Chain A
């Protein structure tokens, strides 16, 4: 069974700060997803990656397959980035989800 650990569980940042959320998993995967869930509940897929690094706007996601670790970075954070960020790893045709990181960015 694949275990997915996310840290931190809660994160409060000041607007403009650089933010890092970490994700570790226990067995080999086909892909890793970073998801964003806003208070209304809807989920948006931010990244899917299986190696290296991806960037989209102020968001950067990296993955180290050997270390079974991924990070999500937010540069120049903004209050609208406040949400729950979820790491999910894919193996077989299923996803296993981390518990999520609750991010609050204060202005």
Chain B
């Protein structure tokens, strides 16, 4: 099946710094990418939807200035957590679709802000 690569798989950063997470579709063109956040023992929460070449659509309650999403090409989307705080510590995961209904998921990134 199609492969979505997410990097890094884990990252520890200091409060106030920014962290960039990459999501790449390796063998298909991802017209739409989704970014999710998962709190411990909870299901995935959609943060934003990004389409290649256009601005991301953020879900209610998600700060777009804090979680910057860029989908500059059909194979790459990035999520940047700006001025990270300990409450941003979470598991972030992306998924990508190539226009069909099937979604492919990245491996996820565990962010710890200290």
Residues of A within 8 A of B104 (CB): 45
Query: Which residues of chain B have C-beta atoms less than 8 A from A100's C-beta?
Result: 43
Q: Which residue of A lies closest to B104 (CB)?
A: A45
Q: In the complex, A90 Cα to B100 Cα: how many Å?
A: 11
CB distance from A89 to the nearest CB of B (A): 11
In the bound complex, residues from chain A placing their C-beta under 8 Å from that of B91 are 41
**Chain A residues within an 8 Å CB radius of B97:** 93
CB within 8 Å of A: which of B32-71?
A: 32, 34, 38, 42-44, 46, 49
The count of residues in chain B whose C-beta lies closer than 8 Å to any C-beta of chain A is 22
Task: Tell me which of A30, A43, A90, A94 contacts B105 (CB under 8 A).
Answer: A43
With an 8 A cutoff between CB atoms, is A35 at the interface?
yes
Using CB atoms, name the residue of chain B closest to A48: B102
A85 to chain B, nearest CB (A): 11
CA distance A25 to B100 in the complex (A): 21
Once the chains bind, are A99 and B42 in contact (CB under 8 Å)? Answer: yes
A65 to chain B, nearest CB (A): 14
Q: Which of A35, A44, A48, A93 contacts B32 (CB 8 A)?
A: A93
Q: Is the CB of A98 within 8 A of B43?
A: yes
A41-B91, A43-B93, A45-B1 known; A97-B105 Cβ under 8 A: no
| Cβ-closest chain A residue relative to B2 | A45
**Minimal beta-carbon separation of B112 from chain A (angstroms):** 13
* Known contacts A93-B32, A99-B42, A99-B43: A45-B108 contact under CB 8 Å: no
- 6 shortest interchain CB distances as A-B pairs: A42-B107, A43-B105, A41-B108, A31-B101, A97-B43, A48-B102
Identify 16 residue pairs between A and B in the complex whose beta-carbon atoms are under 8 Å apart, listed by A's number: A40-B108, A41-B110, A42-B106, A43-B107, A45-B1, A45-B102, A45-B104, A48-B102, A48-B103, A93-B97, A94-B46, A95-B34, A95-B46, A97-B43, A97-B44, A99-B43
